[in-house]
Amino acid sequence: MAEADRANVPGDVGPRERGADLLGFNLTFFPQFLLGYLGMPRRYHAYPPEFQALNVLSTAGATVLAIGYLMPVVYMLWSLKYGPIAGDNPWGATGLEWKTTSPPPTLNFEERVVVTEPPYAYVSREATRV
């Protein structure tokens, strides 16, 4: 199970996926809004020719939206196979759930844990390197 626990996502994956989602959503549904406003009937197998351009634009937007949804899935599968294994506490959190190994043993702790820090006092990796 620990091998499936991966972290360290490159910084550009999230913004690219979010941008594809935003662009795809707007390209899909804004033309449909305009088509409805212009009076295009719904659930027709063939649309009048004056609505063709906006329907093609909506279809292209749906393709971009699908790519945006597939990007995190592809990256997740890639990181499961090739990504570095995350340590026991990759975020430097101080809560009790991060004071044990990953995966945790049956009873979580071998001995009683003494809490000396607040639960949300995160330690940045840059601060620990200095």
Same domain flag for 91 and 109 = yes
Do residues 68 and 6 share a domain? yes
Cα first-last separation, the chain? 32
Note whether 66 and 91 are same-domain residues. Answer: no
Same domain, yes or no, for 61 and 110?
no
Given this model, what pLDDT does residue 101 score? 82
| Mean pLDDT estimate for the chain | 82
Query: How many whole angstroms separate alpha carbon 30 and alpha carbon 80?
Result: 36
Confidence of residue 2 (pLDDT cuts 50, 70, 90): very low
Q: Do residues 118 and 74 both lie within one domain?
A: no
Residue 111 reports pLDDT greater than 60: yes
pLDDT for 28-77, tens place per residue?
Answer: 999 999 999 999 988 888 888 999 999 999 999 999 999 999 998 988 89
Whether the model pTM is above 0.75: no
How far is 111 from 56, CA to CA, in rounded Å?
64
% pLDDT > 70, the chain: 86
25 and 75 in a single domain? The answer is yes
Residues 73 and 105 in one domain: no
Return contacts of 102-108, CB within 8 angstroms, 24+ apart: 102/2, 102/5, 103/1, 103/2, 103/5
128 shares a domain with 103: yes
Q: How many CB atoms lie within 10 A of CB 60?
A: 14
- For residue 52, what are the domain limits? 2-82
The number of distinct structural domains making up the chain is 2
